[in-house]
Every structure is written in C-alpha cells, then in structure tokens.
C-alpha cells in the first residue's frame, strides 16, 4: 500500500536525490572536458525557463527533469579524450557509489533510505548512459556516442547529455 511515508520518499527521490545524481553525472563529463582544455563549458540542470545561473551552471524551472552539458572546443581533441568525456559522467557516478558505501562502512554516514535512493539512481544513470542506444529524440547515449566515435561515425561528437557546441 502506498502511504504518506512512501509519498515523502517519492518526493525525496525525485526532487532531491535524482537531480543531485544528474549533477554528479554532468560534472563528470565537464571535469574531463576541462582537463582536456575545454572552452565554453556549460552545465544545464533541468528544463524550462531559466531560474538562475552561476558562472558555468544554469538551473532551470523543472530542475528535476533532464540535464545537459556542452563545450565549444578542446585543446586535446582525439578519440581517447572524447571517450573519457563520454565516460566521465558514469565514472563520477560509480565513484560516488563507492564513496557512499565506504562512508557507510566506516560509520561516517548512516545507512538510510536517502543513500539507498542515491546509489539506486546512480546505478540507473550509469546503466542507461552506457547502454549503446538511440534516444527517442535522435540523440545518442554516452555508450552509443563512444561506439560511433571509435567507428568514425559520430560526426558531431555528441551524446544525449554532453555535446560539443558547433557554431
């Protein structure tokens, strides 16, 4: 039976945990883009009208739905660097899973529904990011973008949530 406690867990999961997991994923992409000399780096959390922006971060009205990042150019631009950018989001999600589990194990944080949801959504994000598939809007998952990159078929160096902005 779905009760009040379950409703509050739902609110926590979708309006707090999932946006945090999304931000971690996008920061992973941008971290590697920055390491390889990325210019024009920008992270967008959510969709809809702009709520506020800070330097390279934009937060949209529906902050809990979707996210993306972009860069204009890279100083070090080859298949390996682009692959690490595509994998960066999943790398950050996996590292965050291990970090949370480690902190629980050494009693720094207490095991709770919050951390269970965090790990669950992080696995979810990694699975669907690396699954080589075309999204409904025609964009590519990170896994498919990397696959096409190595097959010389990813013309715009983009995935569904990380793209090189072309003018």
Structural domain contains residue 11? yes
> What per-residue confidence (pLDDT) applies to 1?
66
Domain count, the chain: 1
Structural domain contains residue 60? no
Q: Is 54 helix (H, G, I), strand (E, B) or coil?
A: strand
> What per-residue confidence (pLDDT) applies to 156?
76
| Domain residue limits at 113 | 4-37+74-159
Where in 31-81 does DSSP place strands (E)? Answer: 42-54, 57-71
Structural domain contains residue 51? no
Structural domain contains residue 50? no
Q: What is the DSSP string of 126-157?
A: HHHHHS--B-TTS-B-HHHHHHHHHTT--TT-
Distance, CA of 17 to CA of 115 (rounded, Å): 9
Structural domain contains residue 166? no
> What per-residue confidence (pLDDT) applies to 102?
98
Taking only the tens of pLDDT, the chain with its 167 residues reads: 678 888 999 999 999 999 999 999 999 999 999 999 999 999 999 999 999 999 899 999 998 888 999 999 999 999 999 999 999 999 999 999 999 999 999 999 999 999 999 999 999 999 999 999 998 888 899 999 999 999 988 777 788 888 887 65
Structural domain contains residue 123? yes
Residue 146, token pair as written in the block: 């990397």
Structural domain contains residue 119? yes
Structural domain contains residue 54? no
Kindly report the length of the chain.
167
pTM greater than 0.85? yes
> What per-residue confidence (pLDDT) applies to 6?
87
């Amino acid at each position: 039976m779905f009760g009040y406690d379950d409703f509050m867990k739902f609110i926590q999961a979708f309006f707090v945990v999932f946006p945090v997991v999304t931000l971690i994923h996008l920061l992973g992409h941008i971290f590697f883009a920055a390491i390889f000399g990325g210019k024009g780096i920008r992270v967008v959390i959510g969709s809809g009208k702009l709520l506020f922006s800070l330097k390279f971060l934009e937060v949209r009205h529906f902050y809990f739905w979707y996210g993306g990042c972009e860069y204009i150019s890279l100083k070090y631009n080859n298949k390996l660097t682009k692959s690490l950018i595509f994998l960066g989001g999943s790398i950050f999600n996996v590292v965050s899973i291990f970090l949370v589990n480690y902190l629980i194990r050494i009693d720094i944080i207490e095991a709770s529904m919050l951390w269970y949801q965090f790990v669950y959504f992080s696995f979810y994000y990694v699975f669907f990011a690396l699954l080589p598939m075309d999204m409904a809007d025609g964009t590519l998952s990170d896994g498919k973008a990397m696959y096409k990159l190595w097959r010389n078929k990813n013309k715009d160096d983009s995935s569904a949530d990380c793209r090189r902005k072309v003018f």
